[in-house]
Amino acid sequence: MNIVACYKIVPDAQDIEVGADGALRLDRAQWVLGEYDLVAIEAAAQLAAATDGSAVLLSAGGEKLNDTKLVKAALSRGADELYRVVDPALEDADAFQTASVLAAALRKIDFDLVVCGEGSADRYSQQVGLLVGALLGLPVVNATGSVRAEGDALLVERVLENEVEVLEIAPPAVVSMTSDAVLPRIPQLKDILAAGKKPVTTWSLDEVGGIPESPVETVSVKAPASIARKGIVLEGATDENIGELVSGIRASR
Amino acid sequence: MDFKKTEEQELLLDSLKTVMERGNFEDYFKECDRNHEYPQKAVDALVEAGFTTLGIPEEFGGTPTDTLTQVMVAEEAHALGYPSLCWINFATEVDDILTFGNKEQQEKILGYALEGKKPFTLGFTEPQAGSDSAAMATTATKRDGKVYINGNKTFNTSADRAPYMLCVCRSGVNESPYKDFSMYLFPMDRPGVAIEKLDKIGNNMCGTYEVHLDDVECEESDLVGEECKGFYQLMKNFEVERLTICAANVGMARCAYDEALRYAAQRMQFGKIIGSFQLVQEKLVDMRIKIENMQNLLYKTAWKKDNGESIMIDSSLVKRYTGQAAFEVIDDAMQIMGGIGYTHDCRISRLWRDQRVYRIMAGTEEIMVHTAGRALIKEAQ
């Protein structure tokens, strides 16, 4: 089975600074692979190994996608090769734009399954996987806890609030994994060294048909104002304490 | 001159951080320290993540890795709180066996090294032969086609867990001790081997033992390398082994410094953070200078080794300096922490107990003066 895992590189959350006006400052942030996408890569690598198939990676983004360390970080996790669409216009692409570019790139790749993460580690819209499936006209499942091949079909477990749906779908298809579906591997030195030798294909925006206009206008992205901890501790689950907790929460809204 | 780590080194260190974060071992190490237990859970996590393979030749299942990278990894592990004397990358320790051992010895020892199990305890120091290694009195006597080992070894790290002893013995052939030592490799469960635990002040997670050898029967094929060349064989590797020890020094110092720095930046006294007082700042600045100096000297020495240059003098300089400087940094870190630093709740107290022996073991800091000092004068003559 040929599997494509999609990933996004994002500023490391612990390096993001919030300005006095609530604006996010990313200039001192290290860029890393989105933590939810590591799950997608791992799930793809495991399924490829189980089906004697191949796992490849796909990403769309700005110039930072060319960073050789980030490429090695991605390819040291079990996938065989990497495709990327790189353009400065993709740096601030929203979910629809990103999904459109990924869908166009996927038309150039032979695959049975596309695996996405639960959401991006920066905006966490949780839309890209669903949009990619819709744009390609393929079956698409989110909240996927596991996926395995059963004959010609895919057995997908969809984790809902109180139940697990088991779906049988015909490939090709698109799934988005839950954040705890699998534990991403820890790359060993031999994996890291091998990653530097794996093939990488770079496409320009033109080669995938450009980027569509976004139907959504982003006015600003700001961090919520932080509120100092009140430091109130209520000891013991008594009715009185519970009442005080509830009225305290109400009063602070 | 490029001081930047390679991308591969950075990614490998990221992997190490992930292992340590996922394991969340700080409380576990505290418990192991308190109970004098080996931190097997942390060892297993590092083995699974491939850290035992670094520097072991590919033909034995390892990943060729330069000395500098091995040093950086060992340093980082200790900086993240990994306990000293429990490090699991044995590539430098097994070098003697790789260079001088026979095929069977190599396969056994390298196999244990990859499993993260200390393959052998080194039988070198004896009660009457510490820095004065020529005074070693353990004998290897040939009789009826066998070799019988008799004597007492001491300060044997992990003699309870190591499956083998690499034992340096007098062969009774040459009068000069240095031309008479031979190395034998034998299993610790052979009849005649008895161990006795030493009660020491730190490094509780790793037991240290006296080993009594009473007519331990060996085959002639248990000899490692050549008869009467044991001392020179051992010396070949001592310089590089020292670098792993030095890496632990730098790591432990960083661990203590990081904790003290964070504390100084938030601990309030007299209405201010204590980091705003210049007496505390002076300590932090001097600690940082020592850490930078230790790293620079250590990395440069490892780099020289990787580039085929002699580190005969450098390895003594770096052993002496990192032992002393790390001790000073950790001691100052404890001072900054105040009373909390002296409690078992704070890991600086463990570092303070554990690091002290690094000024003594594997060549005391005074012997380092002797080895480097002599060589420096010789260079000038």
Give the ipTM of the model, two decimals please.
0.92
- Between helices B347-355 and B312-337, what is the axis angle to 10°? 150
Question: Does pLDDT of A230 surpass 90?
Answer: no
Across the interface, whether the CB atoms of B11 and A188 are under 8 A apart is answered no
| Structure token pair of residue A152 | 């010609």
Q: What is the phi/psi pair of residue A141, to 5°?
A: -130, 130
Q: Could you tell me the two tokens for B235?
A: 């010396």
Three-class DSSP category at B155:
strand
User: How many C-beta neighbours within 10 Å does residue A78 have?
Assistant: 21
Q: Say whether A72 and B8 touch across the interface (CB within 8 A).
A: yes
Asked if B11 and A196 come within 8 Å (Cβ–Cβ), the reply is no
Q: What's the rounded mean pLDDT across residues A180-209?
A: 97
The dihedrals phi and psi of B220, each to the nearest 5 degrees, come to -65, -25
pLDDT of residue B234: 87
Helix (H) or strand (E) holding A6: strand A2-6
Per-residue confidence band for B351, with pLDDT thresholds at 50, 70 and 90: very high
Predicted local distance difference test score (pLDDT) of residue A232:
87
Q: Is the pLDDT of residue B71 over 80?
A: yes
HEC-encoded secondary structure of A124-151: CCCCHHHHHHHHHCCCEEEEEEEEEEEC
17-36 in A: which are within 8 Å (CB) of B? none
Distance between alpha carbon B20 and the CA centroid of its chain, in Å? 20
pLDDT at residue B36 is higher than 90: yes
* Number of domains composing chain A: 1
For the B120-230 domain, the top CATH level (class) is mainly beta
Hey, of B11, B67, B76, which one would you mutate to test binding to chain A, going by the most A CBs within 10 A of its CB?
Answer: B11
Least confident of A42-46, A121-125, B356-360: A121-125
Q: What is the pLDDT of residues A118-148, one digit of tens each?
A: 999 988 899 999 999 999 999 999 999 999 9
Give the pLDDT band (50/70/90) at residue B344.
Answer: very high
Q: What pLDDT does B74 receive? A: 98
Residue A110 lies in a domain: yes
pLDDT of residue B66 exceeding 80: yes
Task: For residue B313, list its beta bridge partners.
Answer: none
Using CB atoms within 10 Å of the CB of residue A229, give its burial: 0 to 12 exposed, 13 to 18 middle, 19+ buried: exposed
Residue A244 in domain: no
A 127-156: CB under 8 A from B = none
- The pLDDT tens digits of the residues spanning A235-245 come to 998 999 999 99
Please report, for residues A148, A155, A172, the alpha-carbon distance to residue A152 in angstroms, rounded to integers and kept in the order given: 11, 10, 10
The minimum CA-CA distance between B62 and chain A, rounded to whole Å, is 9
Buried b (16+ CB within 10 A) or exposed e, B3-28: eeeebbbbbbbbbbebbbeebebeee
| Whether pLDDT at A225 is above 90 | no
pLDDT the model gives residue A24: 87
| A76 inside 8 A of chain B by CB | yes
Tell me, what amino acid is at B342?
A: Y
How far is the alpha carbon of A192 from chain B, nearest alpha carbon, in Å?
6
Region of residue B173 (left: phi > 0; alpha: psi -120 to 50; beta: else): alpha
Nearest to A188 among B7, B22, B50 (CB): B50
For residues B284-289, average pLDDT: 98
Is a pLDDT exceeding 80 seen at residue B330? yes
* Residue A59, domain CATH: 3.40.50.620
B8, B18, B69 member nearest A186 (Cβ): B18
Helix axes B67-79, B7-23, angle to 10 degrees: 30
Model confidence band, residue A222 (pLDDT cutoffs 50, 70, 90):
confident
User: Which residues in chain A are closer than 8 Å to B8, comparing Cβ atoms?
Assistant: 72, 189, 192-193, 196
The stretch A21-49 carries a mean pLDDT of: 94
**Res B89 pLDDT > 90:** yes
Q: What percent of chain A has pLDDT over 70?
A: 100
pLDDT of B237: 80
Q: List chain B domain ranges.
A: 7-114, 120-230, 232-380
- Answer whether A196 sits within 8 Å of B8, measured CB to CB: yes
Query: Is the pLDDT reported for residue A253 higher than 80?
Result: no
Is the predicted pLDDT of residue B30 greater than 90, yes or no?
A: yes
CB contact under 8 A, B54 and A189: yes
Residue B200 has pLDDT above 80, yes or no: yes
A48 belongs to a structural domain? yes
What confidence category does residue A20 fall into, taking pLDDT thresholds of 50, 70 and 90? Answer: confident
pLDDT at A21: 86
CA-nearest residue of chain B to A188? B50
Q: A68 vs B11: CB contact, 8 Å cut-off?
A: no
Closest chain A residue to B61, measured at CA? A190
Asked if A72 and B11 come within 8 Å (Cβ–Cβ), the reply is yes
Interval B304-309 mean pLDDT: 96
Q: For CA atoms A69, A71, A77, A78, give the dihedral sign.
A: negative
Is the predicted pLDDT of residue A223 greater than 90, yes or no? Answer: no
The residue type of A152 is D
Cβ neighbors of B116 (< 8 A, separation 6 or more) are: B43, B44, B46, B47, B52, B88
Query: Which residues touch B28 (CB under 8 Å, ≥6 apart)?
Result: B39, B41, B42
Residue B305 in contact with residue B311, Cβ under 8 Å? yes
Establish if A249 belongs to a structural domain. no
Residue type, A183: L
Percent of chain A's residues with pLDDT above 90: 81
Minimal Cα–Cα distance from B42 to chain A, Å? 15
Q: Does A197 touch chain B (CB under 8 A)?
A: no
Q: Which residues of A touch B18 (CB under 8 A)?
A: 186
A243 within domain boundaries: no
Q: Does domain B232-380 sit in CATH 1.20.140.10?
A: yes
Distance from the B92 Cα atom to the nearest Cα atom in chain A, whole angstroms: 17
B59-87: average pLDDT: 97
From chain A residues 159-188, the ones with a CB under 8 A of any chain B CB are: 186-188
Q: A11 in contact with B at a CB cutoff of 8 Å? A: no
Cα-based angle B63, B64, B70 (whole degrees, multiple of 5): 95
Q: Is the model's pLDDT at A252 over the cut of 90?
A: no
CA A81 to chain centre: 18
| Token pair of B94 as six digits | 């097994």
Confidence band of A221 (pLDDT split at 50, 70, 90): confident
* A223-226 own/partner pairs: CB under 8 Å, 24+ apart: A223/A18, A223/A22, A223/A23, A223/A24, A224/A22, A225/A22, A226/A18
CB contact under 8 A, A186 and B53: no
Is residue A76 over pLDDT 80? yes
Disruptive mutation site among A186, A191, A197 for chain B (greatest number of B CBs within 10 Å): A186
Distance (Å, whole) CA B300 – CA B191? 45
Q: What is the mean pLDDT of chain A?
A: 95
Comparing B187-191, B234-238, B264-268, B350-354, the range with the smallest average pLDDT is B234-238
Residue B188 has a CB neighbour count (10 Å cut-off) of: 19
Q: Which residues of A touch B12 (CB under 8 A)?
A: 189, 192
Tell me the residue type at A157: E
Rg over alpha carbons for chain B, rounded to the nearest Å, is: 21
Q: Which domain holds residue A178?
A: 2-224
What does B313-344 look like in DSSP terms, one character per residue? HHHHHHHHHHHHHHHHHHHHHHHHHGGGGGST
Question: What are all long-range contacts of B187-194, with beta carbons under 8 Å and residues at least 24 apart?
Answer: B187/B163, B188/B121, B188/B159, B188/B162, B188/B163, B188/B164, B189/B163, B190/B216, B190/B217, B190/B218, B191/B216, B191/B217, B192/B149, B192/B216, B192/B217, B193/B165
From 2.40.170.20, 1.25.40.10, 3.20.20.20, 1.10.540.10, which CATH number describes the B7-114 domain? 1.10.540.10
What pLDDT is attached to residue A19?
Answer: 87
Nearest Cα residue to B262 out of B351, B328, B347, B327: B347
Q: Give percent of chain B with pLDDT exceeding 90.
A: 97
Does B320 score more than 80 pLDDT?
Answer: yes
Flag whether pLDDT at B296 surpasses 80. yes
3-state helix, strand, coil in chain A (%, to 5): 30, 25, 40
Which sign does the torsion angle of CA B310, B313, B315, B317 carry? negative
| Calculated CA dihedral for residues B183, B186, B191, B193, nearest 10 degrees | 60
Q: Could you give the CA distance from residue B91 to residue B62 in angstroms, rounded to a whole number?
A: 9
pLDDT above 90 for B363: yes
CB-based contact A192 B12, cutoff 8 Å: yes
Q: What is the mean pLDDT of residues B73-87?
A: 97
Q: Is residue A245 a part of any domain in this protein?
A: no
Mean pLDDT computed over every residue of chain B:
96
Nearest to B311 by CA among B67, B77, B94, B93: B67
For residue B46, count other CB atoms closer than 10 A to its CB.
Answer: 23
**CA nearest to B10 within chain A:** A69
